[in-house]
Amino acid sequence: MTLPLSLTSTEQLAARLRAGDRAALARAITLVESRRLDHQAEARGLVQSLLPFTGRAIRLGITGVPGVGKSTTIDTLGMRLIGQGHRVAVLAVDPTSSRTGGAILGDKTRMARLSVEPNAFIRPSPAGQTLGGVAARTREAMLLCEAAGFDIVLVETVGIGQSETAVSDMTDFFLVLLLPGGGDELQGIKKGVIELADMIAINKADGDSLGRARTTAMEYSAALNLLTPDGASWKPPVVMTSGLNDEGLDAVWANILKHRETLTRTGELQAKRARQQVKWLWAMLDDRVRSRLRADPRIRARLPEIERAVFDGALSATLAADEVAGLLGL
């Protein structure tokens, strides 16, 4: 992978990024997303050097079933926040094309206003093989955006699934968007995802869907009463929104600010971020092992044969994993 870097060092890249150079921010994220070992080493140094300038942004995670209106809601909410003087970064994680390995939805085309707003930065990234639809380097990208002066960072995930906990593990506030008319099926949402929500928004609550939205909001309010909240100081609210018509988003933002104020006062926000750092450590260790698997010439030479044996049923996955781990010295 060849990076389009005209800068001669990570120090210069960091300086340009801190000065608000959007091209430098884009290049820095490209660096942390690179799978080349030399690029990864540079990226680690870059992120470490920028750590003192991170941590002050509001980190928001937004998820929901496909078609719920995540991108429209982010576009509308982002423009509202920019109008209040904020700078907004959106890390939109797209499904990965099995043929090209690239992002296939192109979120910039679905956030028409934010995509041309100078105080906004949108970065679509392919989800790859990362659980929860969160790109492997989204955490580092989030820190880079903070260092570049963006005080609100939104992470839009691919959709709902068992491993959407990944976005909760890197953000301060986790918003779940739902469609009106969820009914008893809960729209395929797993109980564990609802338990992670800091707020539920019934989106597209407009026109003929308004009555169904009210019913759905009542159903989920009742369901949340049966769950144990993540913290003692915050009970997740349920609100109705229309991202398309910019309705209800004032309540969304008010709850986000109230949540931040409450958790800051009780010390829960600091503790939550500290726990996230530890989880990040283990995620990076897992990623480092995967990198070694890809880079080790012995494993690259042996792995196709091992995969074929597992595929053919001649070797169990457990024994195959033992053999690969043995090649790594684990």
Rg (CA), the chain: 21
Is residue 128 located within the same domain as residue 180? yes
3-state secondary structure of 8: coil
Q: How many CB atoms lie within 10 A of CB 244?
A: 15
The per-residue pLDDT for 135 is: 60
The answer to the question of residue 258 being in a domain is: yes
In DSSP terms, which residues pair with 122 in a beta bridge?
Answer: 90
pTM: 0.85
Do residues 58 and 45 share a domain?
no
User: Do 227 and 318 sit in the same domain of this protein?
Assistant: no
- Give pLDDT, residue 190: 56
pLDDT at 5: 47
Question: For residue 285, what are the domain limits?
Answer: 278-328
Series of mean pLDDT values for 10-residue runs along the chain (330 residues): 54 94 94 84 92 96 87 95 97 58 50 92 73 67 96 84 74 93 54 83 93 91 76 88 95 97 95 91 80 82 93 94 85
Helix (H), strand (E) at residue 311? helix 297-312
Q: How far apart are CA 130 and CA 206, in angstroms?
A: 35
Boundary (domain end) residue, out of 221, 238, 266: 266
Distances (CA, A) of 9 to 24, 45, 46: 12, 11, 10
Number of domains in the chain: 3
Rounded distance between C-alpha atoms, residue 88 and residue 72, angstroms: 15
Domain membership of residue 271 (yes or no) is no
Residues in contact with 140: Cβ distance below 8 Å, sequence separation at least 6, in sequence order: 29, 32, 43, 47
Regarding whether 161 and 132 lie in a shared domain, the answer is yes
Integer Cα distance of 63 and 193 in angstroms: 10
Q: Residue-wise over 82-111: b if at least 16 C-beta within 10 A, else e?
A: beeebbbbbbbbbebeeeeeebebebbebb
pLDDT score for 104: 42
Residue 288 to residue 184: CA distance in whole angstroms: 42
Q: Clarify whether residues 36 and 58 are in a common domain.
A: no
Using DSSP's 3-state secondary structure scheme, residue 154 falls into strand
Cβ atoms of residues 25 and 121 within 8 Å: yes
Instruction: Check whether residue 209 and residue 61 sit in a common domain.
Output: yes
111 belongs to a structural domain: yes
Same domain, 129 and 205: yes
Q: What pLDDT was estimated at residue 268?
A: 94
Q: Residue 287 is part of a domain; what is its CATH number?
A: 1.10.287
Q: What is the pLDDT of residue 103?
A: 43
Q: Are residues 48 and 76 in the same domain?
A: no
Is the residue at 237 inside a domain? yes
Domain of 242, CATH number, reads 3.40.50.300
Instruction: Give helix then strand counts, H and E, for the chain.
Output: 12, 7
What letter would DSSP give residue 149? T
Q: Say what the pLDDT of residue 167 is.
A: 84
Close Cβ partners of 296 (under 8 Å, ≥ 6 residues apart): 327, 328
Query: Is 175 within a domain?
Result: yes
